[in-house]
């Protein structure tokens, strides 16, 4: 029986009609993400190729999108029983967040993957990208929620592209700011669907340390009479 697990960029054959899986598309997206991070693709080219990758139905449609990029050979290697999980995982470079009758969140400083798969079923999930360490200029978020909700917070400079679908649900996406209009602005591309659920994207400034207000805090002084000592008193104190 012919091996239909290969994705050969050197030439098409009858196996090129093999239907592409979600894992195949994620692997192809990782190659394109790496190429943009290395400066091989412009933002527009990267966006166009990602759109084509996630719309692809067969391997034949994926091959021309990768054949001029480094890493395409690794992308077409089949996952065999002899390959370890550590060898397969880096090629995909995807993250997974699942909240089923529960909650999940990523806040503060966290490592964002190029492709994030998120599922909320009768639960809620929250992503805050303000302090996240981004893998490159673009993050693809496959966000699916059923009777659940997903809240996303992005910094002012991140551009948001929503390609998702709402079925008896809602998608509330904050408009792009002036900072996100620059060519080198990071991009969050949202895919997926909402069924009896909702996705909300808010744009917020990064948190800054609060300065002490006048008349608040404490005063610290060193006194030597009658014995050396440190005196701490309220800043509002008159003495």
* CA neighbor of 191 nearest in space, from 94, 105, 100: 94
Q: Is 62 exposed, middle or buried (0-12, 13-18, 19+ CB in 10 A)?
A: buried
* CA neighbor of 98 nearest in space, from 139, 138, 135, 144: 144
Q: Which two tokens stand for residue 209?
A: 């340390």
Task: Name the stretches of the chain with pLDDT < 50.
Answer: 1-14, 74, 76-93, 211-212
The answer to whether 171 and 149 have CB atoms below 8 angstroms apart is no
Burial 113-130 (b: 16+ CB within 10 A, else e): bbbbbbbbbebbbbbbbb
State the DSSP string of 168-195: SSEEEEPPPPGGGGSTT--EEEEE-EEE
3-state secondary structure of 3: coil
Per-residue CA distances from 76 to 49, 116, 189, 192 (Å): 17, 21, 25, 25
Alpha helices in 121-187 (DSSP H): none
C-alpha span between 16 and 4 (Å, rounded):
8
Contacts of 167 (CB under 8 A, 6+ apart): 193, 194, 195, 196
- pLDDT tens-digit map of 28-85: 877 887 777 677 888 778 778 888 888 888 888 888 888 888 865 545 444 333 333 3
The answer to whether 32 and 48 have CB atoms below 8 angstroms apart is no
Q: What is the residue extent of each domain of the chain?
A: 1-79, 93-207
Q: Is 68 exposed, middle or buried (0-12, 13-18, 19+ CB in 10 A)?
A: exposed
Burial 15-24 (b: 16+ CB within 10 A, else e): bbebebeeeb
C-alpha span between 36 and 41 (Å, rounded):
5
């Amino acid at each position: 029986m012919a091996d239909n697990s290969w994705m050969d960029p050197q030439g098409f054959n009858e196996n090129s009609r093999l239907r592409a899986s979600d894992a195949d598309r994620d692997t192809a997206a990782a190659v394109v993400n790496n190429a943009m991070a290395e400066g091989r693709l412009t933002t527009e080219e990267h966006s166009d190729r990602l759109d084509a990758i996630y719309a692809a139905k067969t391997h034949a449609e994926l091959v021309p999108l990768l054949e001029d990029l480094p890493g395409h050979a690794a992308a077409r290697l089949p996952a065999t029983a002899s390959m370890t999980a550590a060898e397969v995982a880096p090629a995909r470079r995807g993250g997974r967040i699942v909240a089923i009758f529960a909650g999940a969140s990523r806040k503060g400083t966290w490592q964002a993957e190029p492709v994030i798969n998120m599922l909320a079923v009768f639960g809620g999930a929250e992503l805050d990208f303000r302090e996240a360490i981004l893998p490159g200029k673009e993050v693809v978020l496959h966000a699916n929620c059923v009777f659940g909700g997903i809240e996303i917070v992005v910094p002012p400079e991140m551009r948001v592209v929503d390609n998702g679908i709402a079925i008896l649900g809602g998608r509330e996406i904050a408009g792009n700011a002036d900072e996100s209009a620059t060519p080198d602005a990071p991009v969050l591309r949202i895919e997926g669907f909402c069924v009896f659920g909702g996705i909300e994207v808010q744009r917020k400034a990064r948190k800054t340390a609060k300065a002490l207000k006048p008349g608040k805090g404490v005063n610290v002084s060193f006194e030597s009479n009658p014995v050396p000592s440190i005196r701490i008193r309220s800043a509002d104190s008159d003495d």
